Structure 1
Amino acid sequence: MKTLNQKNKQNKKQPLEYYLNLQYPITFYPDPEGGYVAQIKELPGCLTQGETLEETMTNINEARELWMETAYEAGDDIPLPSSDDSYSGKLLVRMPKSLHRRLAETAEREGVSLNQYILFLLSAAKN
């Protein structure tokens, strides 16, 4: 739910640069035919795919920018990202060394950081 402050900000149109700098959660899914799909659920229709996680991340950032530019030029409302200030976004997880190694090696093969790879796995698991 948007706060009153967020609604007031949205009613007063900000410069395009303001919207381009907003951070939206991205959901990654493995594609059954290979590669990955990424979606920004708060921006309807903003999704893409790629062969690797790195390519998919690049593609979703480009799709987000194009979505924003198109909506802005059309005068459409651009939804603000939802936020929940009660969560920091940080979590310490202890795991067996063998699992840590497997995750790190797979992330390296995919060309992404270990953190990005674990985020991908977690977001794909919730669906």
Structure 2
Amino acid sequence: MSMIMSSIKINTDALEGELDRFLDIPADHSDLIHRSEAYRDVKYPVVLTRLAGGEWLAEHKDLPGCKTHGGTPEEAMARLEDVKLSWIYAAMAEGRKIPKPATGVPIVKIV
């Protein structure tokens, strides 16, 4: 077995290129990261829901499907910030318009 393994050489540059293609990483990845990070301080209203198992669901209704859960409301909201930026990154990569936060609603609503 060791003789076989010692004769195999891996072209890591080619592997990285193939991995990027497999993962469908956009060519403008760095720009998308920078542009999505600009939304870190944009405050979207959060709806917090206590789940039957005791965990909390946090979601941004303005960003459809942007939700996560945590053991406490604070944990769920902290995770939601990362999910929000990932949601915005994906929307930008797909060329979709980023919705503006709803106005006139509480920033955090517990249901």
TM-score greater than 0.5 by the shorter chain: yes
Count matched residues.
76
1:24, distance to aligned residue in structure 2 (A): 0.3
Please state which structure has a larger fraction of its residues in strand.
Answer: 2
Share of identical aligned residues, percent? 30
Distance of aligned partners of 1:21 and 1:72 in 2 relative to their CA distance in 1, 3 Å threshold: farther
- Which contiguous aligned blocks of 4+ residues in structure 1 show a shift greater than 6 angstroms? none
Aligned residue runs from structure 1 range 40-119, under 5 A: 40-84=60-104
TM-score by length of 2: 0.59
Distance 1:76 1:55, change over 3 A: same
Structure number, greater radius of gyration: 2
| 28, 39, 48: which one aligns with 1:19 | 39
- Contact residue 20 and residue 68 of structure 1 kept, 8 A: no
Q: Which structure: greater helix fraction?
A: 1
- Cα RMSD, aligned residues only: 2.1
Structure 1 length-normalised TM: 0.53
Does 1:123 pair with 2:110? yes
* Structure-1 separation of matches of 2:66 and 2:110: 17
Residue type of the alignment partner of 1:32: A
Per-residue CA distance 1:6-54 (angstroms, 9 max, x = gap): xxxxxxxxx4444343210001000111210011000000011011122
